[in-house]
């Protein structure tokens, strides 16, 4: 298990599902697409629409392309 990134800030959050943690179909807020106070991820950095995230539960680090707004050039 990785340690928590030293730049992880609870003030910078994203509500993207962690690819390693089980989904939360029983969470009413998540089912409605609302910001949940439990199932959030650290937003470490971003480059345009590419997000770099870390899960506070399992500490997995990954990147997620949102394809929203200002996308990166290929």
Write the pLDDT tens digit of every residue in 28-41: 887 887 888 888 99
Flag whether pLDDT at 44 surpasses 90.
yes
- Residue 29 sits at φ, ψ, to 5 deg, of -65, -45
56-70 average pLDDT score: 88
Residue 32, pLDDT score: 82
DSSP string of 7-40, one letter each residue:
T--TTSEE----SSSPP-TT-HHHHTTPPPSSS-
Q: Which residue has the tokens 């959030």?
A: 40
Residue 33, pLDDT score: 76
What's the whole-model pTM score? 0.79
Flag whether pLDDT at 55 surpasses 90.
yes
């Amino acid at each position: 298990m990785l340690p928590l990134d030293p730049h992880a800030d609870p003030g910078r959050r994203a509500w993207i599902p962690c690819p390693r943690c089980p989904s939360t179909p029983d969470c009413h807020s998540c089912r409605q697409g609302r910001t949940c106070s439990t199932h959030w991820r650290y937003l470490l950095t971003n480059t345009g629409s590419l997000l770099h995230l870390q899960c506070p539960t399992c500490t997995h680090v990954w990147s997620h392309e949102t394809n929203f707004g200002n996308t990166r050039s290929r």
